[in-house]
Structure 1
Amino acid sequence: MSPKTQILVTGITGYIGGSVYSHLTKYSDFASFEITALIRSTDKAEKLKKLGIKTVVGAHDDVKIMESLAAKAEIVIAAADADNVQAATATLAGLKKRYDATGIPPTFIHTSGTGLLVDDAAGERSTDVVYDDCNLDQIESIPHTAPHRNVDLRLVNADKEGYVRAYIILPSTIYGIATGPLVEQGIQNPFSQQVPMLIRVSARRGRAGMVGQGKNIWPNVHINDVAQLYVTLLDSIRKNPSTGHGRDGYYFGENGEHTLYEVSKAIGDVLVAEGKADNREPTPFTKAELEKQYPGLISLGTNARCQANHSRSIGWRPQFSKLDLLTGIDTEYEGLKKAGRI
Structure 2
Amino acid sequence: MSGTKTHFLVTGATGYIGGSVLTRFLAHPHADTFQFTAIVRDSQKAAKFEELGVHAVVGSHSDAHLVEKLASEADVVIAMADCDDVGAAKATLEGLRKRHTLGSRPIFINTSGTGVLVDDAKGMHSTDTVYDDSDADQIETLGSNQPHRPVDKVITQADAEGYVRSYIILPSTIYGIATGRLVELGIQNPHSIQIPQLINAALDRGQAGMVGEGKNLWPNVEVHELADLYIKLYDSIVADDATGHGRNGYYFGASGEHSLYDVGKAIGEAMVTLEKSSSPEPTTFTQEDLDKYFGGSPYLGTNSRCRPTHSRALGWSPVNSTGDMLASIRPEIEALIKKKNAGVA
- Deviant stretches of 4+, over 4 Å: none
Displacement of 1:126 in angstroms is 0.3
Matched, 1:18 2:19: yes
Match runs of 1:1-342 below 5 Å? 3-102=4-103, 104-295=104-295, 298-340=298-340
- 3-state SS of 2:98 partner: helix
Asked if the contact 1:217–1:302 (Cα under 8 Å) also holds between the matched residues in 2, the reply is yes
Asked if the contact 1:211–1:297 (Cα under 8 Å) also holds between the matched residues in 2, the reply is no
**CA-to-aligned-CA distance 1:83-104 (integer Å, 9 cap, x gap):** 11111000000000010122x2
- 3-state SS of 1:167 partner: strand
- Partners in 2 of 1:138 and 1:200 — Cα distance? 36
- 3-state SS of 1:177 partner: coil
**Relative to 1, partners in 2 of residues 1:297 and 1:336: Cα closer, same or farther, differing over 3 Å?**
farther
- Partners in 2 of 1:302 and 1:155 — Cα distance? 25
Asked if the contact 1:289–1:295 (Cα under 8 Å) also holds between the matched residues in 2, the reply is no
**CA-to-aligned-CA distance 1:112-146 (integer Å, 9 cap, x gap):** 00000000000000000000001111000000111
Asked if the contact 2:201–2:293 (Cα under 8 Å) also holds between the matched residues in 1, the reply is no
- 3-state SS of 1:169 partner: strand
Asked if the contact 1:125–1:216 (Cα under 8 Å) also holds between the matched residues in 2, the reply is yes
- Partners in 1 of 2:266 and 2:119 — Cα distance? 24
- Partners in 2 of 1:133 and 1:222 — Cα distance? 19
- Partners in 2 of 1:327 and 1:40 — Cα distance? 34
- 3-state SS of 1:147 partner: coil
The TM-score normalised by the length of structure 2 is: 0.97
Displacement of 1:292 in angstroms is 4.5
**CA-to-aligned-CA distance 1:148-179 (integer Å, 9 cap, x gap):** 01000011000000000000000000000001
- 3-state SS of 1:77 partner: strand
Asked if the contact 1:213–1:261 (Cα under 8 Å) also holds between the matched residues in 2, the reply is yes
Displacement of 1:293 in angstroms is 4.8
Asked if the contact 1:22–1:181 (Cα under 8 Å) also holds between the matched residues in 2, the reply is yes
- Partners in 1 of 2:221 and 2:293 — Cα distance? 28
Unpaired runs of at least 5, structure 2: none
The answer to which of 160-169 and 325-334 deviates more is: 325-334
Counterpart residue identity of residue 196, structure 2: P
| Superposition CA RMSD, Å | 1.2
- Partners in 1 of 2:95 and 2:196 — Cα distance? 36
